[in-house]
Amino acid sequence: QLEPSFAFARQETDAPTRFLQNGEEFIAADEARSDYLAGILALRAGLPFESQLTLSLPYVYTNTETVTRIDGAGEREESLDASGVGDLSVTLAKGLMRERGWRPDVIAEVSWNTDTGETDDGVELGSGFNEVVAGVTASKSQDPLVFVAGLSYSHAFEDDGIRPGDAFGLSLGTVLAASPETSLQFFPDNAFFTDTKVDGRDVP
């Protein structure tokens, strides 16, 4: 199965900052507006023993505009565009249990997110780290609803003395089959992170 998809995200941040210029300290406000677009191509292949292998590769475009407002010195605006291939992801999934009676469907997954993303004009289009993610998802149908619960754990490997913190995820949600062609999903996701380590020291 070959599946194309498209993702878009926009992030806006506003934070105070201080800097030195000609020996004089200034207080400034940084406003950053970032647009992220990705076209993703996924290839899925069924394997024996109720297993599935998925390869996913995104092509990413980002645009970041930063406006710095400086007390008594006006404002400064910068814009940066970057595009290229993102990180290749390889996922192996296996069905552990089939829904029957009170028992839910249970699927386990393990993913390897590679550090293969390109760098364009100093902007990393991938995560910058090799990462392994493991998770298990259980689903139980009660027509026209499907209840879903998932647990996940991710571990990034150290690179240049930096190792991002481990992440523990919990997802609980439901899917409503509104019609044979349309479904609605509601999923609160929670993530808990340990401290990042730089040269072996914890950095909150």
d(CA 12, CA 69): 16
Percent of the chain exceeding pLDDT 90 equals 60
pLDDT digits (tens, 9 = 90+) for 102-117: 899 999 999 999 999 8
Q: Which amino acid is at 160?
A: D
H helix intervals, the chain: none
Maximum mean pLDDT: which of 55-59, 80-84, 158-162:
55-59
Percent of the chain exceeding pLDDT 70 equals 92
DSSP state of 115: S
* Confidence tier at 72 by pLDDT (50, 70, 90): low
Record the tokens describing residue 84, joined without a space.
């290229």
- Angle, CA 105 vertex, CA 52 and CA 94 arms, to 5°: 20
Specify the higher pLDDT residue, 153 or 178: 153
- Angle, CA 14 vertex, CA 9 and CA 19 arms, to 5°: 130
Query: What is the model's pLDDT at position 120?
Result: 86
Maximum mean pLDDT: which of 1-5, 96-100, 126-130:
1-5
pTM for this prediction: 0.77
Residues 117/87, Cβ–Cβ less than 8 Å: yes
- pLDDT, the chain, mean: 89
Record the tokens describing residue 68, joined without a space.
């710095």
Q: How many CA atoms lie within 13 A of 105 on its CB side?
A: 13
Least confident of 16-20, 56-60, 95-99, 138-142: 16-20
Specify the higher pLDDT residue, 75 or 160: 160
DSSP state of 129: S
